[in-house]
Structures are given as C-alpha cells and as structure tokens.
C-alpha cells in the first residue's frame, strides 16, 4: 500500500495545490481559463499523440474493451438518471449528474497516473475509453439534458443537442490527437527531430499542469457556487462514480471473459482503475454552458476527487 501511495500521492497533491492556490487567490481566477486552454489545446494533445504513436495499433482498436466499457457507461447513465430524477432535479440536472457518475477524469488525470502505475502498456486501453466517453457517453447525456425543453419538442431538442455535442467533439483537439497518433503508429511515422522534441516537451508539461488546473477549477466552482444544498443531492452520485462504476466494470468484464469475449485481463484491470477515477472536472464547465445546476455538479466532482485519494488507492491495492 505504501508503494502505491508513493505513486498516487504526488498526483493528488498537485490537485490540492491548485485548489489551495485558487482558493487563496495566489492564482487569480481569471488565469484559470488560460491554464485550461494550455492543457486542452497544447500539452494534452501532444501527450495523447505521443502515447498513441508509440502504442501498437491493435491496442487502439480493441473492440472488446470499447464494447464492455460502453455497456457499463450506458448502465451507469441510466441508473443515475433513474435514481436522481425528481420534482427538483429535472432532466437537465439529472443528465449532467449522470455524466459525472459515468465519465472519469481520464484525460487530465488517468493517462499519466495509470502510465505511472502500470507502465506504457496501459495507455492503449485508456485511449479507447477516452474515445468512448468523449464521443458517446457525453453526447448521450447532453442529448438527454434537452428533454426539459417543452412537451412535443423534446425529441427534436434532444436530436439538436446530440448534433451540437458531436460538433463539440469534432472541435476538441484531443480526439484528433488520438487519431493522428493511431495513424502514426499504423504507418510507423516519426516526427522530424526538432518537431518531435518540441511536442514531447509539451507532452511532459501536460500531467503537472493538468492536475494543478483540476484543483484550480474545483476551487473556482466552489467559490462561485456557494448556495446551500442537501448532501443527498450530490454525495450519492459521487459514491456511484467511485464505487459502483468500477464494481460494475469489474463484474461485466469478468462475465464477458467467462463467456468467451476476447478481453485481456490486463485491459480489464486498466478499465476498472479508469472507472475508479474521480469525475471529469470539465463537466462543470459543460453544466454551466447548458444551464444545469453547476453548484451540484461541482460538489459531485469535488467530493469524488477528494475521496478518490483513498478509494482509488484502495482499488489499486486490490487489483495490482
């Protein structure tokens, strides 16, 4: 357990550092979008490209990993919506809550953390899971969130929201970095020396800056969303993310192996640990854009991130 904490502690310490810096205004809140932009448009795409281009193409096209994980994501979304939808929490809030219950912080936290824990061979399955969550899980939840927009227009609104979500995916540099990395891996292409060195320097910056930015974003959300809220509105969803999601992936993945699905046990371990990660921090920005209760979403992300230091480390101890 101590050896695992030696690996996981620095990652969560950087998140805490970003939280404290923003909360104490050592980092101006106005600077956070700049940090987020650097990670999203420069450092993280370079890191994903590097991992994709150095990973065998077969690992990046593993249909068993994608299928099992997608099934679990759909179950999580459906369960979270059913359990939270009520007279106060309507489709918009329930759907965005379902997204944080099913969407781990894989890009900003999971890729570097799992590479440190399990080695570079873990990156292939992780990239597959990022694509599933970004393209399908998030698009589904955004579409569901539009069902509040008037009787008789719900289906049209949902279809329009799904189109907007897909356009958002196309505009996001992360999927393109993954695709370009996969193509480079397939054709064994290497960037010219100076270009590669520049890209790799940006890739090296992705992990610390992304983790620090997660903490800063969480602090900003807490500062801006300080209205009182019952614990029952957000703690159960955080527990779904940290406990139910990885247990579901473990159960479904183990069952799939038993019936003959060609799912590698190591890939299943990676999938379970990805599911054990805290909620994706960027969902808070999405909730704000879609008019959902961002205070509730921010609290779910904050609780899941704080508790994940213990629950994620425990999952690692049990699985590896």
Domain ranges of the chain: 2-319
The pLDDT value given to residue 128: 93
Higher per-residue confidence, 168 vs 81: 81
Structure tokens at 176: 């393109």
Mean pLDDT of the 149-174 span: 66
Beta bridge mates, 104: 279
Share of the chain above pLDDT 90, in %: 56
**Separation CA 39–CA 168 (nearest Å):** 17
Residue 309 and residue 8 in contact, taking contact as beta carbons nearer than 8 Å: yes
Distant-in-sequence, close-in-space partners of 238: CB < 8 Å, separation ≥ 6 = 279, 300, 303, 304, 307
State the fold for domain 2-319: Na+/H+ antiporter like fold (1.20.1530)
The pLDDT value given to residue 283: 86
Mean pLDDT of the 175-203 span: 92
The pLDDT value given to residue 152: 45
The pLDDT value given to residue 149: 62
Strand (E) or helix (H) holding 283: helix 283-290
**Separation CA 157–CA 165 (nearest Å):** 12
Residue 73 and residue 133 in contact, taking contact as beta carbons nearer than 8 Å: yes
The pLDDT value given to residue 218: 87
Strands (E) located in the chain:
none
Rank 46-55, 70-79, 167-176, 186-195 by mean pLDDT and report only the highest: 70-79
Residue 315 and residue 276 in contact, taking contact as beta carbons nearer than 8 Å: yes
Residue 218 and residue 281 in contact, taking contact as beta carbons nearer than 8 Å: yes
Within the chain, what is the greatest distance between any pair of CA atoms?
Answer: 59
Geometric angle at alpha carbon 133, from 206 and 178, rounded to 5°: 50
**Separation CA 199–CA 214 (nearest Å):** 22
R_g (Cα) of the chain, nearest Å: 19
Distant-in-sequence, close-in-space partners of 19: CB < 8 Å, separation ≥ 6 = 215, 216, 218, 219
């Amino acid at each position: 357990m101590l050896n695992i904490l030696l690996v996981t502690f620095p990652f969560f310490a950087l998140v805490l550092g970003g939280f404290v810096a923003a909360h104490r205004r050592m980092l101006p809140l106005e600077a956070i979008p700049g940090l987020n932009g650097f990670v999203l448009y420069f450092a993280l795409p370079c890191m994903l490209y590097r991992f994709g281009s150095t990973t065998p193409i077969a690992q990046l096209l593993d249909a068993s990993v994608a299928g099992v994980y997608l099934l679990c994501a759909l179950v999580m979304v459906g369960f979270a919506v059913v359990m939270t939808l009520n007279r106060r929490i309507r489709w918009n809030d329930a759907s965005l809550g379902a997204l944080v219950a099913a969407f781990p912080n894989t890009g900003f936290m999971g890729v570097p953390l799992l590479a440190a824990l399990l080695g570079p061979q873990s990156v292939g399955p992780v990239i597959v899971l990022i694509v599933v969550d970004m393209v399908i899980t998030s698009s589904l939840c955004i579409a569901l969130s539009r069902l509040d927009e008037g009787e008789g227009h719900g289906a049209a609104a949902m279809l329009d929201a799904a189109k907007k979500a897909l356009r958002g995916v196309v505009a996001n540099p992360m999927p393109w970095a993954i695709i370009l990395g996969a193509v480079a891996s397939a054709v064994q292409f290497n960037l010219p020396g100076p270009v590669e060195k520049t890209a790799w320097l940006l890739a090296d910056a992705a992990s610390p800056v992304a983790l620090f930015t997660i903490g800063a974003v969480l602090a900003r959300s807490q500062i801006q969303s300080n209205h009182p809220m019952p614990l029952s509105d957000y703690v159960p969803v955080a527990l779904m993310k940290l406990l139910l999601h990885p247990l579901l992936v473990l159960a479904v993945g183990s069952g799939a192996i038993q019936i003959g699905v060609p799912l590698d046990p190591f890939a299943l371990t990676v999938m379970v640990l990805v599911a054990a990660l805290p909620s994706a921090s960027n969902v808070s920005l999405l909730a704000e854009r879609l008019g959902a209760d961002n205070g509730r979403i921010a609290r779910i992300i904050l609780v899941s991130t704080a508790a994940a230091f213990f629950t994620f480390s425990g999952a690692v101890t049990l699985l590896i």
